[in-house]
Structure 1
Amino acid sequence: MVTPSSVDSRKSWVLLCNLGGPETIEEVRPFLKALFSDPGILRIRSSWLRGLLAWGISTLRYRSSQKLYAQIGGGSPLRRLTEAQGEALAEALRRRGLEANVAVAMRCWHPSLDEVLPKIIATAPTNLVVLPLFPQDSFTTTRSVVERVEELLQDVPDLECRFITSWYAHPKYIEAVVARIREGLADLPPDETTTLLFSAHSIPLRYVREGDPYPQQIEASVRSVVTRLEAEGITLPHRLAYQSRLGPIPWLGPSTEETIDTLAREGITSLLVVPLSFVSDHVETLYEIDILYRKRAKRLGIEHFRCTEGLNTEATFIECLADLVSDHLDHDRRTGRGPRNEGGGKNR
């Protein structure tokens, strides 16, 4: 992985962004405080009040969260997996004849945007492509990254910066999800009808009412995946649910737990959970789905349960990222300017 401190003479930068996660048990409490201090996560105008709530939530939850991370090896693999994605992306770009430095930053943990962006700026880049690793755009993820990057670049008006803000229906993203589903089905009994349960991270319903495009894009991704499966002759019943709710406020649903309960009552015995909005394995997939929901399903009589592997460095997924970035880098090489954004990208 190229870091801003080991940059070569190339002046184009690609910045991959994710939310981040604690890598040790000791980091869990400060990570939770940083996560809930993000104005994209807690949409409260008063920074003082948001900070107070972040302190309260992290204080109340950190011990139980530590127990979750202890069950997946003591910490989140998200940074390591994101750096592996960055290395694979850089290699994919080189194969296309495109040279660019690829860096990784986290919105709510280390290496943070506040740490990485100043180092990139110090290299006097000619252009920067920011790719938040969230296929479906949301106030809580993509928009939070975009807003923080724009704040950090306020004093760098000459830097050409472009944001890739949604790619929920990119053919290679859909193909990569389908590939993981095929792998998951191969581990389930062929003589039983498997139900696909697409599970996405939930968001507060208030954000949906305020115009967050996330649920519409999630639903569009599900339709695209199902259509692609049917084109391959794979026709299976499917449901969409939302996980990882927090607190008593109304959240986007139905919840994944409730849906598993409903499927068990309907008598299904084979279930493949597809974590749709996550591009890397982390606590929501490794613990929440593969441990917590697995136990729930088994207890309710769902004999065969599997969760698809995260996209991580799956070859088609890396080609998807390369396609998204190449649209900008190749246009820069030919014209010195970025391409027009159609369907999600944003130029600065």
Structure 2
Amino acid sequence: MNMGGPSTLSEVHSFLSRLFHDSDLIPLPFQRLIAPVIAKRRTPSIEEQYAKIGGGSPIRRWTEHQGKAMVKLLDELSPQTAPHKAYTMFRYADPLTNETLQAMKADGVKRAVAFSQYPQYSCSTTGSSLNELFRRAPALGMDGNSGVQWSVVDRWATHPGLSARPGVVLLFSAHSLPMDIVNRGDPYVLEVSSTVTAVIGRLRERNGFESSYRLVWQSQVGPKPWMGMKTPDALKGLARTGRKDVILIPVAFTSDHIETLFELDLEYGSEAKELGMNLQRAESLNGSPIFARALADIAAEHIRDVDSGRRGAASTQMMLRCPGCTNETCADQKTWFARGGRV
């Protein structure tokens, strides 16, 4: 499960429309009225961005590649539940939740793991995808009442499979989050920070690695306050203080898409060049066999623990609502997963 992205330029408007209509991701006043206007206004400029990275997002191709690589290993790691099959389920682009659920129903699926491909949990990303699944599954006869057992891998921010030289600054860049979501108690910022800490700890453990690092935030949209500091502002600040050797690391993304190929590579890369910086971008996980093994390990452990009763269908952390949460769909969705997909 992931946000998804438009595979062609003709899909950009529908992608943006779904995105701006989602109050879990971008809460707006008078959302039904404002979202279509924003989507229409932004479509031309976003189409230009996708045109510059080849005419569409590669996220579906990479997600399907990762899924196939994962289940091949998962069959070996968990032969008692084999054969396994990976389905791609996107929130804002094809294949959408309904389409994927219909494919699963046609295949006769009776055991399903909703595997979030956002390593760090947020109500606005993983939560939104799970809310959509919760809304759609019963109507299609794909819930626990219809004989389909559901469980969820909702976060894996510190798994070792997610994971220079002195003087180089490591700049971990993650998709930002509106401050009103942060301030209601969303765990995303904490979980991204835990990933960065785990990566740095792993580097020190394996290589005695020492380098300066910071966590910064990208992809802010609109006039509302978002989590900072912003990635381009950090680059300007580093250049001003004489730190011009930087490795930019897309810490919260599991494959290349518009935020890496356009925003990091082209937009920020151009700004860094103007600042006289030596900016290198760390390769995305994409087709990494280490990452495929990480996905398989996570899925195998999840299936084993759920089937043995050592853990519930969702993590203890996911069952805790944000202290400031007022979204009753979120509350109902958590109960639904806790009951294995039953109302």
Q: Tell me which interval the TM-score lies in, with the shorter structure as reference length.
A: 0.7 to 0.9
Alignment partner, residue 165 of structure 1: 154
Say whether residues 1:241 and 2:225 are aligned partners. no
- Out of 35, 39, 42, the position equivalent to 1:58 is 39
Residue 23 to residue 273, structure 1, CA distance change in 2 (3 Å): same
- Out of 255, 261, 264, the position equivalent to 2:236 is 261
Alignment of 1:198-347 (within 5 A): 198-231=172-205, 232-302=207-277, 304-330=278-304, 339-340=311-312, 341-342=314-315, 344=317, 347=338
Give the Å deviation of 1:169: 1.0
Aligned residue identity for 1:208: V
- Partners of 1:205 and 1:250 within 8 A in 2: yes
1: distance between equivalents of 2:287 and 2:58?
Answer: 13
Give the Å deviation of 1:312: 1.3
Give the Å deviation of 1:210: 1.1
- Out of 49, 54, 60, the position equivalent to 1:68 is 49
Say whether residues 1:105 and 2:77 are aligned partners. no
Say whether residues 1:39 and 2:23 are aligned partners. yes
Give the Å deviation of 1:221: 1.0
Alignment partner, residue 7 of structure 1: none
Structure 2 segments unaligned to the other structure (5+ residues): 319-336
Give the Å deviation of 1:30: 1.6
Residue 262 to residue 343, structure 1, CA distance change in 2 (3 Å): farther
1: distance between equivalents of 2:267 and 2:289?
Answer: 29
Aligned residue identity for 1:130: A
Aligned residue identity for 2:263: E
Alignment partner, residue 136 of structure 2: 152
- Partners of 1:194 and 1:270 within 8 A in 2: yes
- Out of 82, 96, 115, the position equivalent to 2:63 is 82
Which structure shows the higher strand fraction? 1
Which secondary structure state, in structure 2, belongs to the residue aligned with residue 246 of structure 1? coil
- Partners of 1:197 and 1:271 within 8 A in 2: yes
- Partners of 2:179 and 2:225 within 8 A in 1: yes
- Partners of 1:245 and 1:251 within 8 A in 2: yes
- Partners of 1:134 and 1:277 within 8 A in 2: yes
Give the Å deviation of 1:122: 3.9
Aligned residue identity for 2:295: L
Cα deviation, 1:265-307, whole Å, max 9, x if unaligned, reads 11112110000000010010011001110111111121x1111
Say whether residues 1:18 and 2:33 are aligned partners. no
Residue 273 to residue 329, structure 1, CA distance change in 2 (3 Å): same
Aligned residue identity for 1:274: I
Give the Å deviation of 1:43: 2.8
Which secondary structure state, in structure 2, belongs to the residue aligned with residue 101 of structure 1? coil
- Partners of 2:19 and 2:25 within 8 A in 1: yes
- Counting aligned pairs with the same residue, the percent is 33
Give the Å deviation of 1:339: 4.0
Question: How many correspondences in the alignment?
Answer: 311
Residue 343 to residue 260, structure 1, CA distance change in 2 (3 Å): farther
Q: For the aligned residues, what is the CA RMSD?
A: 1.9
* Higher mean C-alpha deviation, range 224-233 or range 255-264: 224-233
Give the Å deviation of 1:328: 3.4
Give the Å deviation of 1:338: 7.9
Give the Å deviation of 1:331: 5.1
